[in-house]
Structure 1
Amino acid sequence: MTITANRTLAIAAISLLIGLIVLGLKFLAWRITGSIALYSDALESIVNVVTAVAALVAVWLAQKPADAALPYGYHKAEYFSAVVVGVMIIVAAMLIVREAVLGFMAPTLPDAPVQGLAVSIVATMINMAWAYVLIRHGRSVRSPALQADGKHLMTDVVSTAGVVVGLVLVYLTGWAVLDAILAALVALNILWSGWAVIRDSVGGLMDVAVPKDIQHTIREVIASNAEGAIEAHDIRTRQAGKMTFIDFHLVVPGTMRVDAAHEICDTIEAKLREAVREVQITIHVEPEDKAKHSGIVVV
């Protein structure tokens, strides 16, 4: 593994450890207060732990080199991980809804407000700091699993902040049913987060094209480094985890020698690897009678 790959795997492992610590703190806050809202927050932390486990496994698999069974590599393992995370988030939301309904039926004021909220705030600060690390590193190495984990943690931070503010109001007003209302709002927030994670991951599993700005860069690199060719057409891209796949047809004069055409392909590939990190390129060379006079016209 490269230094970057080792660091990514280490971050995924640390994420699991932090998830367990935060889970313990949030369940402690719930046991101190008996608050349904804090219980819902603790349930969401169980999802965080499951997310961290899924991300760790996915990142480990994604580092494995391509082999005979999977010649294009294991990069899509991260998308499967993110789908699992999304499903677990939705399951947690349904459990929270159940507790909220019970709270509506028999509302009670939570106990020990100061101690419980203090523990919850400490857990939230840990989550916020680690979410920033996960999102930043996940983007830098283009890891869907780490980004999904970080985004969910940030959602957890937002929902916990809302719970803390709401519980302060519960204690100040004595309105016990507000505790159940807060739990229901947390559930809605989690459902939205789960849907977003699943939506983004399914796009990766469906071989979604790279973003438009990267497509534009790819076309510019081909156009400026295909001297001697006639045109490039049927340019296709797809993203699988951190790996970008590019394939296109390069039309050359029918009289061009094979080694000359190969040299043009080598030049284009070298420049694309400079412009797009972690890329696999397939170029199909065609004679000029196959020209479509579309795509990228070189001459």
Structure 2
Amino acid sequence: MSNLLPRQLLLLSLLAGFLTMALKTLAWYLTDSVGFLSDAIESLVNVAGASFALMMVTLAKRPADEHHPFGHTKAEYFSAAFEGGMIFLAALAIMFTAVERLLNPQPLLGLNIGIVLTVLASLLNLAVGLLLVKGGQQHQSPALEGDGKHLLTDVWTTAGVVIGVVLAALTGFIWLDALVAILVALHILREGGSILFKAINGLMDRALTAEQIATIEQIFVELGNRQAQFTHLRTRAAATQAFAQADLLVPGDWSVERAHQLADAAEQQLLSLGVQLTVHIEPLDYNSSDNRLLNPTVH
């Protein structure tokens, strides 16, 4: 399963989403629990999120063209933003329904079968969510990781719903069912905010991780020497792609061929790490007056 491609993982997520939504909707229908209803609504969000993520991952795989010379990988961030927005809408719907039920409590029926159906759906979400998070990290896909984390959040949400429903049945305090639904809404609002923040941060050309930057700097140190040095490093991440830019300062009497060979060596080493490097070659004397060598890297 860990070797599945992003599109295959999202198809699996979509299939699981339809199945869990059916199970949780049946649980709500049999019990008339607003807690189970809130869980079913979040499953609807899972289906919508997985569907949109599948479209965006498909778009992100399109090759670069005249109008998008760096490819379409940032489309994945729109998927994360869409899912975050859907979570907010679901939370509002849950809150509205729960408050109405809090004001007008209703008896709960058929809890045993409802709990069994909900737990089965939650176990399915747990398995698929773990696969998606692992796949998202492996493929550096924000759409996959966002969908997986949402499913794992759904597992905790379901656990809270089940506990609330059981407590309501055991104590006779039916209002606990509505209270748990409100807490679920607040919890998924927080998760939606986190997903939206990560999507916006990604669209703003976030730098590579500190570990990646340290690796690049080490390669520059190994390739450089007293005569030639790499400086002014800038990096950015675009979903599954990573980019870097740097200046290569060489003596003025170096040939173009010699400078190009060093720049090409750096580009090839970084390409093996999945980073597309662009090197700008400048004569060393030209930069000596602005003291850039005193601060050789800027991220």
Contact 2:270 2:276 in 1 (8 A): no
5+ residue gaps, structure 1, are none
Counterpart CA distance in 2 for 1:252 and 1:101 is: 69
So what's the TM-score if we normalise by structure 2? 0.94
5+ residue gaps, structure 2, are none
Moved more, 84-93 or 209-218: 209-218
The one-letter amino acid paired with 1:58 is M
Aligned to 1:174: 172
Counterpart CA distance in 2 for 1:229 and 1:8 is: 45
Aligned to 1:287: 283
Aligned to 1:270: 268
Matched, 1:31 2:29: yes
Aligned to 2:54: 56
Counterpart CA distance in 1 for 2:138 and 2:227 is: 35
Counterpart CA distance in 2 for 1:125 and 1:173 is: 27
Report the count of equivalent residues: 291
Which residue of 224, 232, 240 corresponds with 2:230? 232
Counterpart CA distance in 2 for 1:70 and 1:89 is: 30
1:175-254 alignment to 2 at 5 Å? 175-227=173-225, 229-254=227-252
Contact 1:82 1:144 in 2 (8 A): yes
Counterpart CA distance in 2 for 1:197 and 1:27 is: 25
Aligned to 1:43: 41
Counterpart CA distance in 2 for 1:54 and 1:11 is: 13
Deviation sequence 1:198-229 (CA, Å, 0-9, x none): 00111110001111111111111111123475
Provide the secondary structure at the position in 2 that maps to 1:293: helix
Counterpart CA distance in 1 for 2:247 and 2:230 is: 6
Counterpart CA distance in 1 for 2:157 and 2:84 is: 17
Contact 1:109 1:170 in 2 (8 A): no
So what's the TM-score if we normalise by structure 1? 0.94
Contact 2:80 2:142 in 1 (8 A): yes
RMSD, matched Cα = 1.4
Question: Structure 1: which 4+ aligned runs deviate by more than 6 Å?
Answer: none
Counterpart CA distance in 1 for 2:10 and 2:129 is: 12
Q: CA deviation at 1:111?
A: 0.6
